[in-house]
């Protein structure tokens, strides 16, 4: 309980307790319930402002999170694209190498066939010459 200064009433038992505080213009005496209500109202306003500022901060953080998630997804897609391009280059080079090996093998086989055909022609020519010489010797 508080007893005030100038003209402040105070009492015990059943009376309204008046709380008096000094201000620049003089003394202010109000019932304690009104002071408590004003204090609670100020506290409520403060808490509501704080809640609003926290909601704003939360919204900003949500937006930043969304931007970071989009950025991360974009980086993941770019990495996957690079990986696919690298794999495609590897397959392309492998295919090119296999084609070159097959072409070289084909050229070797053609060269071998040419040598075999030439050897067969030379053999046939030698046999023909041997037959002619045999016939010529038999005729003499």
Indicate whether 36 belongs to any domain: yes
With a threshold of 0.85, does the pTM exceed it?
Answer: no
Statement: residue 13 has pLDDT above 50: no
Q: pLDDT tens across 40-84, in order?
A: 788 888 999 999 999 999 999 999 999 999 999 999 999 999 999
Indicate whether 139 belongs to any domain: no
Statement: residue 97 has pLDDT above 70: yes
Indicate whether 109 belongs to any domain: yes
Half-sphere exposure of 39 (CA within 13 A, CB side): 7
Total domains in the chain come to 1
Indicate whether 64 belongs to any domain: yes
Half-sphere exposure of 68 (CA within 13 A, CB side): 6
Range of the domain at 114: 18-119
């Amino acid at each position: 309980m508080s007893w005030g200064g100038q003209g402040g009433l105070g009492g015990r038992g059943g009376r309204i307790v008046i709380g008096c505080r000094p201000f620049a213009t003089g003394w202010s005496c109000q019932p304690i319930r009104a002071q408590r209500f004003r204090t609670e109202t100020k506290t409520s306003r403060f808490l509501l402002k704080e809640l609003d500022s926290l909601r704003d901060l939360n919204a900003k953080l949500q937006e930043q999170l969304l931007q970071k998630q989009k950025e991360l997804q974009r980086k993941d897609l770019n990495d996957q694209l690079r990986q696919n391009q690298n794999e495609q280059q590897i397959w392309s080079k492998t295919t090119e190498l296999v084609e070159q090996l097959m072409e070289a093998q084909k050229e070797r086989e053609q060269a071998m066939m040419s040598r075999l055909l030439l050897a067969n022609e030379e053999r046939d020519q030698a046999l023909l010459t041997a037959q002619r010489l045999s016939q010529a010797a038999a005729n003499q």
